[in-house]
Amino acid sequence: MLPNTGKLAGCTLFITGASRGIGKAIALKAAKDGANIVIAAKTAEPHPTLPGTIYTAAQEIEAAGGKALPCIVNVREEQQIINAVEKAVKTFGGIDILVNNASAISLTGTLETATKKVNLMMDVNVRGTYLTSKACLPHLRKSKNPHILNLSPPMNLNPMWFKNHCAYTISKYGMSMCVLGMAEEFRGEVAVNALWPKTAIHTAAMDMLGGAGIEKQCRKTDILADAAYCILTKPKTFTGNFIIDEVLLREEGVKDFDVYAIAPGHPLMPDFFLDVEIDTTTMNQEGYGAAKEEKKLSRSQQEGADAAKAKTESAAAMPSGPVAETFRVIQGAVTEEYVRSTQGVFQFELSGDGGGTWYIDLKTKGGSAGFGKAPVTADVVMSMSSADFVKMFTGKLKPTLAFMTGRLRIKGNMALAIKLEKMLSQLNSKL
């Protein structure tokens, strides 16, 4: 891990979303130098499922050697931002660093994203970042070495990062565009940079998105804290950069990255917006060149689905091949326990050999799996290639990774989709 140098001693950091997760980790790293931390976050009372409040975070920061100022701030409310900035300046004499960490996420397609969710992501991610930066900038310009650091990605225009969660991508790239614009606007006065993890980071939000067991594929928040510390201790001439945590730390001489892993040695899941080198060929074919073919397949799949209504689910009517064999094994593995614990119906729209419409019914008594549409309305519809489907059900491709890299599209109940990964881990020994 990156050692502290004391360079942030006496500096005041205004960090949004600092009551838990990445924001708190950055705060604690700076606190070890003796920094002043303004905890600008919403959670004043204990949350029923998420850990920490602005007050418990303040206790940890002061225990680590820093000074803390907890402020109730919802970045959707401009006046709350202004009030917290004024309180910070009155308490600590100024602001040296702003970390725009607060963020909202909904990994849903255009038609599945409720307007209130769109508003939330745009308000928190884009507008909140912009307004907090605007409120802090007059004070940052008075600092000797001011920085703004946004937790946002490089703007990768590969269409696969848009097609599954367009609104979320727009909102995160909006944060990155703030970096692009403000870095140039305030060049020579205030450094403005973006930081993004190479791999998934274990936070409460990741637990909700990925379900139980996802932490083994993640790194600790410490890696982002170390990377942020490295950026924030650089001169203000270091500006306009879109930084990936591991790349920066390697340049700084860090060699042991196992210390950042939740489960050292376990394969790590790449984060959103970063193309995975090992999957480049597959992703290029499926993300770019196959666009027209994908539309044709969708129409043929729909025709196949309509025709399937007239068919029985018997083995004789079921196509042959790896997909059919996988469903045959799934059918044999379905138990009342799976049905009782899952209570969901999954429909699969598969392209390629053995494709078409398939289903797993884990809601109806006894459960079932087979070719065609389910006996009852599907709760979740998953679209992917037949080859990736077989890989997913034989443990060679994680559903979360398939989704994050654009190889799996999900419509419907995301919570049930997450349950599928747990079920797959139990089924893999039989497939």
Q: Tell me the catalytic residues.
A: 168
* 391 contacts 181 by C-beta, under 8 angstroms: no
CA–CA dist 132, 84 (Å, integer): 10
Tell me the C-alpha to C-alpha distance, in Å, between residue 54 and each of 88, 92, 105, 131: 15, 18, 21, 21
Query: CB atoms < 10 A from the CB of 306, how many?
Result: 12
φ/ψ region of 111 (left if φ > 0, alpha if ψ in -120 to 50, else beta) reads alpha
CA–CA dist 27, 15 (Å, integer): 7
Residues in the chain, total: 431
* 287 contacts 342 by C-beta, under 8 angstroms: no
- Which residues are within 8 A (CB) of 325 and not within 5 positions of it... i.e. 6 or more apart? none
